[in-house]
Structure 1
Amino acid sequence: MKKVSIIIPNTDSLLIREVITSLKQQTADMSAVEIIVVGSDEPGLVIEDEMVRFVPTGQSSSYASNKRNIGIQTAEGAILLFLDDDCLPAADWLEHHLYRHGQGEQVVGGAVTFGTENYLQLADNVSAFHDLLPFTPESVRPYLSTANLSVNRKVVEKVGLMGTHMKRAEDLEWTVRFRAGGFRLYFEPRAAIFHKPARNTISKVWQHWVDDAPDTLRVRLMYQKLLKTPFVANYRGMYLWGAPLVAAWATARTFSHAQTFYSYWHTLPAVYLTKMIWCWGAFLNFPKISSQPLTRINRNKKN
């Protein structure tokens, strides 16, 4: 079995010990697996052992993309898996990722599941991950999420590290860059995680979508052709005067799968609100498009 590295950017997560425990209980052979936690651990929940390494970072590496890049440069694996610090992998998560790589896939994304107890958290998850729900079909996708992603190291060596100039949407940019480099993005719904973010209040949901908008829009404009971004997205005023229509269109796309509507129809008003908030964030901080130099990794570099 080839060496496998699981990289988790951590920001004082209260779930990180559960995440690590879930990884150690995988049905796959874990003898060649290393778990690299990169970031900060103020609660002291990361316990290092023969499988787990903790790489502390300073303020200069506050973004998740910086932490993932440090993890990549530290990792020894031929297959790199990415998991967020608020995501609990299913017992067969690793098994399904590795199966797809064994079938020849180079980039594999998995499904996102979540709880229904908190209405705002549920609506936030539906709005963000509607296209990665476990009942959506396995297929080639236009982009994937680093909350649940596996990549052959050779892909990163060719395409480069994650962009470090964005607070959000760095995974959108990175996986679209994979496509531009000639690699296909494969979605395997059986490789599932349970997403449990701390976005369970109006203020936290508001901040999430306001922060998400400028970077997501920047990427969508940078890769307008690959992402089929509508031409009108280039006009700032649309996100103010046209916000109700933009939000309605985005909400309709969110519920376009019949099972999504059947399961989560009651979140529709809150999902629509997240789209309106996103429009406000896009208008407030309309992005300037610039080309950033891409960095290739040095496999021998250790941080």
Structure 2
Amino acid sequence: MLNFILASALTLGGSPQAPTQEPVSSPPAPELVEEAVQVLTRAFKHGKTPERLEALDEYGAVNDPAVVRLVTRGLSDKQAEVQLAAVECLRWLDHPDALVGLHKAYKKDKQIKKNDALYEAFIWAIGQHGSLSSIEILVEGAQASAPRAVQAARIYSLGHIPHKDSLEELLSSMQKTGRGRRRGKQPLMAEFALSLAVLSGQDFGKDEAAWTEWWRANKKGFEVVGAAETLSKRQAKQWQRLWISPKEKPGKTDQEKNKKRDEEEEERNNRKGSEPARTARLAMAPGKQRASQAK
């Protein structure tokens, strides 16, 4: 699963839940934690890139402080693939140390912003945790020189933090950021509109002036409280796709799988059945073929 995520992020720059965090699951079994610690320790101490990627893929989702600390080591790896794998693991680990590690690495490693896929992955991972402590980092990412995909991830990540400060930062940056802004239009207005709708419970679409006017009239005393529940069906679906974890993505039901398998089998049988007829046609005498065609 992690390999698929890595490939998608490196090639598309992208991905991809409700605005609240996943419910806390039961602690992992002690023997699993012990095994994860051993494998990850060995991979980072003696292994090379393939071994480290395999260890992260196999044990990077074990939600335990010791495992989180080891996964965090991958953020400072010399290979971008390992860094990206570690970022993806920490994005989905529901543990406070995961976000702490992401914050520290992002602030310390200046090379992150030189790799677009890694840069974007960090923003998504930080935003996934929906923490008020991340606003400073996300606002810093508002620089106009950042790639569009990074800008979009930043906007959505601010929308994933259910707090008035996040809403205010979105409205502020809406008026001044946007790579390629022309004639006063915000090129990322669709992204702003969705995040603003999530936090405000309002929907002014891509009307920047309407959003600004609404905030001016309602800023005082406004609180963000479950606004995402007011989203339209389309908006809710779009928002969910941004934050849903890989293990929660809906898969095909057994019925759908069986139907597809039956259709493929029927197609193969049809191809086999057409072979005798084709052979018979080829075996016809040339004169008969011409006569048949003439008819």
Q: Structures share a fold, TM > 0.5?
A: no
Give the structure with the higher percent strand. Answer: 1
**Which is helix-richer, 1 or 2?**
2
Q: TM-score range by the shorter chain?
A: under 0.3
**TM-score, normalised by the number of residues in structure 1:** 0.27
More relative contact order, 1 or 2 (CA 8 Å, 6+ apart): 1
